C-alpha cells in the first residue's frame, strides 16, 4: 500500500479488518494448523536474509526485496481458503478480490498524476528556454513524487 497518498476511510477500515479476517479464517480452518504454522515459519526464515531491506518506505520503494517472503504469505492464504466450505471460500475470495482492486486503484493514482506534473514542468521549461533570457537553471526537482520516479537531475543543469 502506498502510504504517501491519502487513503479513503472505506479502504482504511478494510485494511484494518484484514488481520482479524485472517485470524478468523485460521480458527475455522483448524485442520491445516500445522501447515499454517510451517508457512509462517517459512515467511520469517525467508525474511531473515533481507531484514536490512525490509524497512520499506511509505512510497513502496524497496518492495522488490519481498518476493520470496511473499510466497510464505500466499501459501497460508491458500491453505486457509482451501480448508473452508465452498460458499464461505467463494465469499472470502470475492471480498479479497475487491480489497485488492481497491488497493491497486489507490496505488495507481500517483502513477496517473506524476506524468501530468512532469509534462507541465517540461512545458514550463520549454517556455523559459524559448524566451531566450539567458541560461536557465534546473534545480529542486524531487527524485520521486508519491513513490513514482520523477524528473530529478543528478546534478545542477544549466540550459542555454
The model's pLDDT over 100-141, given as tens digits with 9 standing for 90+, comes to 999 999 988 888 888 888 888 888 888 888 887 777 777 777
Of 23-27, 50-54, 123-127, give the lowest mean pLDDT range: 50-54
| Cα 27 from Cα 15, distance rounded (Å) | 20
pTM of whole model > 0.85?
no
pLDDT value of position 158: 57
Amino acid at each position: 500500500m502506498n502510504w504517501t497518498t491519502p487513503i479513503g476511510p472505506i479502504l482504511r477500515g478494510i485494511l484494518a479488518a484484514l488481520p482479524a479476517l485472517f485470524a478468523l479464517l485460521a480458527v475455522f480452518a483448524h485442520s491445516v494448523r500445522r501447515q499454517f504454522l510451517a508457512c509462517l515459519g517459512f515467511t520469517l526464515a525467508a525474511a531473515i536474509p533481507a531484514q536490512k531491506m525490509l524497512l520499506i518506505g511509505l512510497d513502496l520503494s524497496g518492495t522488490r526485496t519481498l518476493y520470496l517472503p511473499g510466497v510464505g504469505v500466499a501459501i497460508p492464504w491458500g491453505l486457509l481458503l482451501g480448508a473452508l466450505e465452498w460458499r464461505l471460500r467463494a465469499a472470502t475470495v470475492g471480498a479479497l478480490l475487491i480489497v485488492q482492486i481497491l488497493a491497486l486503484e489507490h496505488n495507481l493514482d500517483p502513477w496517473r498524476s506524476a506524468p501530468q506534473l512532469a509534462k507541465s514542468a517540461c512545458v514550463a521549461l520549454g517556455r523559459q528556454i524559448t524566451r531566450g533570457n539567458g541560461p536557465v537553471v534546473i534545480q529542486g526537482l524531487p527524485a520521486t513524487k508519491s513513490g513514482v520516479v520523477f524528473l530529478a537531475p543528478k546534478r545542477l543543469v544549466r540550459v542555454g
